[in-house]
């Protein structure tokens, strides 16, 4: 049930460590020499890197500020990073000091002052000092709080604890999700409904799919067709699509007869059902789309700001740029379709905090985002 982070499967291989700066147009390129075989994007100024199956951290200059020594390492959040030693999880600060000793069988990054931990198949939450806030007594739980609550399970029953570890909504449900848009989806026996933060049943739903609310609407499924309901239970979008995603930035991606488009919250088809592939959600008002094997970008009005007739691949919009591929090489475009970083790299990663990993001629470097 719990929402485990999947950062450890999103790394890229690279070479890194000493700093050799150059420029390509407006882009600063930091060339690196120390050999690593995997890394993640930067967060709070540092990125996890792996060499010879050991993990450490580098800064945006490629300097290895925390030596490779851990079996696993995650990105920093709230000044701390989860690391693994002898199959036990603890937390280090940005100097490499172990501030929470590696005593846990599992641990997740901090979020709003609390971190999920597991020991001897019991789960709970700790604070930055390593003090237990939610007792480690649950068999399962969501790894993050939402709207001040986290879903927890003891034996076969689910309920909710608050950030002080108090079971504010009793453990009496056979299934539940975390709160979203102020409501949580729960199941009690065969009855599926939504509760508010007091545990009150506010909306019963007949649907083949149990889904959360997002931007005021929730997906339902009837006879394998998807539509949307409001928090008042009103059917806003008739179940008619073969697939539908959550609403994001006012639009939801839908699919019918193998073609993708997007609807608004009134159910109006804003993006026509003509694309072969689409990203699942809008980001920064834009979305990559695929038509006849080529990628481009549309805005929320359906305008093809980058026509899908040229690029072999285009990734999600991040920090003002799209990663894309042309003639087997990768670079970055802005929302006007202008090339901001030339198509000369074999592999690139998305920008994070103004930096991205890239590889050319089998050598990796750090790219600093152009102004």
| 246-256: average pLDDT | 97
Residue 153 has pLDDT above 50, yes or no: yes
> 251 vs 185, 229, 258, 275, 343, CA distance in Å?
22, 14, 19, 16, 31
Residue-wise pLDDT tens digits, 294-333: 999 999 999 999 999 999 999 999 999 999 999 999 999 9
Position 40 scores a pLDDT of 87
- pLDDT category at 243 given cuts 50, 70, 90 is very high
Could you tell me which residue, 28 or 61, shows the higher pLDDT?
61
Position 12 scores a pLDDT of 40
Residue 33 has pLDDT above 70, yes or no: no
Residue-wise pLDDT tens digits, 205-231: 988 888 999 999 999 999 999 999 999
Position 159 scores a pLDDT of 98
Position 14 scores a pLDDT of 38
- pLDDT category at 359 given cuts 50, 70, 90 is confident
| 114-129: average pLDDT | 98
For residue 16, count other CB atoms closer than 10 A to its CB: 25
Q: What is the 3-state secondary structure (H, E, C) of the chain?
A: CCCCCCHHHCCEEEECCCCEEEEECCEEEEECCCEEEEECCCECCEEEEEECCEEEEEECCCCEEEEEEECEECCCECCEEEEEECCEEEEECCCCCEEEEEEECEECCCECCEEEEEECCEEEEECCCCCEEEEEEECEECCCCECCEEEEEECCEEEEEECCCCEEEEEEECEECCCECCEEEEEECCEEEEECCCCCEEEECCCCCCCCEECCEEEEEECCEEEEEECCCCEEEEEEECEECCCECCEEEEEECCEEEEECCCCCEEEEEEECEECCCCECCEEEEEECCEEEEEECCCCEEEEEEEECEECCCECCEEEEEECCEEEEECCCCCEEEEEEECEECCCECCEEEEEECCEEEEEECCC
Residue 8 has pLDDT above 50, yes or no: no
**Segments making up each domain of the chain, as ranges:** 151-204
| 356-367: average pLDDT | 85
Residue-wise pLDDT tens digits, 165-197: 999 999 999 999 999 999 999 999 879 999 999
Rounded Cα–Cα distance for residues 107 and 142 (Å): 12
């Amino acid at each position: 049930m719990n929402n485990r982070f999947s950062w450890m499967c999103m790394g890229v291989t690279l070479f890194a460590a000493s700093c050799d700066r150059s420029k390509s147009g407006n882009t600063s390129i930091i060339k690196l020499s120390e050999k690593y075989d995997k890394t993640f994007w930067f967060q709070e100024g540092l990125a996890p890197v792996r060499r010879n199956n050991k993990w450490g951290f580098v800064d945006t200059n490629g300097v290895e500020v925390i030596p490779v020594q851990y079996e696993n390492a995650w990105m920093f959040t709230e000044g701390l990073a989860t690391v693994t030693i002898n199959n036990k999880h603890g937390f280090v600060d940005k100097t490499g000091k172990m501030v929470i000793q590696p005593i846990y069988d599992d641990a997740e990054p901090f979020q709003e002052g609390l971190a999920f931990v597991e020991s001897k198949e019991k789960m709970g939450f700790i604070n930055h000092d390593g003090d237990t806030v939610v007792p480690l007594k649950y068999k399962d739980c969501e790894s993050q709080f939402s709207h001040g609550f986290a879903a927890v399970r003891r034996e076969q029953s689910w309920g909710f604890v608050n950030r002080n570890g108090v079971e504010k909504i009793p453990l009496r449900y056979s299934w539940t999700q975390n709160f979203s848009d102020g409501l949580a989806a729960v199941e009690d026996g065969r009855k599926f409904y939504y509760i508010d933060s007091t545990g009150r049943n506010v909306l019963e739903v007949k649907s083949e799919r149990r889904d959360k609310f997002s931007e005021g609407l929730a997906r339902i499924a009837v006879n394998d067709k998807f539509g949307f309901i409001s928090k008042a239970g009103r059917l806003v979008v008739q179940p008619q699509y073969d697939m539908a995603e959550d609403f994001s930035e006012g639009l939801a991606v839908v699919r019918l007869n193998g073609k993708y488009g997007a609807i608004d919250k009134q159910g109006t088809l804003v993006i026509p059902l003509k694309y072969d592939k689409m990203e699942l959600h809008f980001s920064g008002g834009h979305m990559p789309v695929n038509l006849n094997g080529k990628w481009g970008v549309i805005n929320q009005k359906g305008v093809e700001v980058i026509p899908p007739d040229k690029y072999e691949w285009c990734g999600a919009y991040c920090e003002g740029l799209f990663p894309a591929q042309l003639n087997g090489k990768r670079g970055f475009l802005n929302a006007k379709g202008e090339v901001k970083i030339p198509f000369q790299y074999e592999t690139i990663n998305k920008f994070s905090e103004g930096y991205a990993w890239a590889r050319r001629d089998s050598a990796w470097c750090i790219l600093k985002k152009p102004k």
